[in-house]
């Protein structure tokens, strides 16, 4: 009888240990271009799909493709109108990188302005030779700004759940404040709940 109780106790402990929190103890590098749908939130796969589509559309617009020189563009912000915490700065960084690599656009770094101002102050402090120092008044103004918005709709019925994302980007002419180009990309993901049992 004691042997049966000991076996049952061991089996119970093994079963309970499987229900507790699991730790990831071994990892490996994965292909960043492979689809990642491990859960029902915004993923890097979503970002890659959306950014590629919008950049491809933007660079063929005549304001860019027919320009005599690569337009100077500044990326501002992407509003997050979803219920998720999404790093929209990372999305806009990817937009900037892909547009820059197209060779059809040049960028003004909005985030570097304070650093540039600090460097101007240092160079004008007398520590830098007059022949090499830079100063205010030599920067080139942007022709366009890129901004946008990310929206989502979540629907859940029974075990089925769909998540719809729509990202819209605008290319606005800074001289006229006219939206020269606008584009949007939609994606919808479907998920099914699984029953988790012992």
Q: Tens of pLDDT along 123-154?
A: 888 888 888 888 777 888 899 999 999 999 99
Tokens linked to 175: 């001289």
Over residues 45-96, the pLDDT tens digits come to 899 999 999 999 999 999 999 999 999 999 999 999 999 999 999 999 999 9
Report how far residue 163's alpha carbon sits from residue 6's, in angstroms, rounded to the nearest whole number: 49
* Confidence grade of residue 30 (pLDDT, cut at 50, 70, 90): low
Domain limits, the chain:
41-110+139-148+168-184
CATH classification of 41-110+139-148+168-184, choosing from 3.30.160.110, 3.40.50.300, 3.40.50.620, 3.40.50.10610? 3.40.50.10610
Q: Which residues pair with 144 in a beta bridge?
A: 73, 173
Alpha helices in the chain, H assignment, sequence order: 2-19, 44-59, 62-65, 88-101, 113-122
- Res 42: pLDDT: 87
| Block residue for tokens 């520590």 | 127
Query: How far, in Å, CA of 173 to CA of 146, rounded?
Result: 9
pLDDT at site 197: 53
CA of 196: how far to CAs of 12, 19, 29, 40, 193, in Å?
18, 10, 28, 17, 9
Around 46, how many Cα atoms within 13 Å sit in the side-chain half-sphere? 24
Tell me the three state secondary structure of residue 133: coil
Contact residues for 107 (Cβ-Cβ < 8 A; gap 6+): 72, 73, 74, 75, 96, 99, 100
- Alpha-carbon distance of 35 to 33, in angstroms, equals 6
Instruction: State pTM to two decimals.
Output: 0.74
d(CA 136, CA 143): 19
């Amino acid at each position: 009888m004691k042997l049966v109780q000991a076996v049952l106790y061991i089996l119970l402990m093994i079963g309970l240990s499987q229900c507790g929190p699991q730790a990831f103890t071994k990892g490996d590098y994965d292909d960043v271009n492979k689809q990642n749908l491990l859960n029902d939130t915004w993923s890097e796969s979503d970002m890659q799909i959306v950014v590629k589509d919008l950049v491809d559309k933007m660079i063929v617009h005549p304001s860019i493709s027919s320009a005599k020189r690569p337009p100077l563009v500044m990326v501002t912000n992407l509003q997050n109108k979803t219920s998720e915490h999404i790093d929209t700065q990372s999305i806009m960084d990817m937009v900037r990188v892909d547009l820059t690599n197209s060779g059809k656009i040049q960028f003004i770094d909005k985030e570097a302005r304070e650093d540039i101002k600090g460097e101007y102050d240092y160079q004008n402090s007398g520590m830098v030779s007059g022949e090499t120092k830079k100063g205010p008044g030599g920067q080139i103004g942007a022709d366009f700004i890129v901004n946008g918005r990310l929206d989502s709709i979540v629907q859940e019925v029974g075990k089925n759940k769909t998540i719809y994302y729509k990202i819209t980007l605008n290319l606005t002419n800074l001289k006229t404040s006219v939206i020269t180009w606008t584009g949007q990309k939609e994606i919808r993901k479907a998920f099914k709940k699984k029953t988790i049992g012992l």
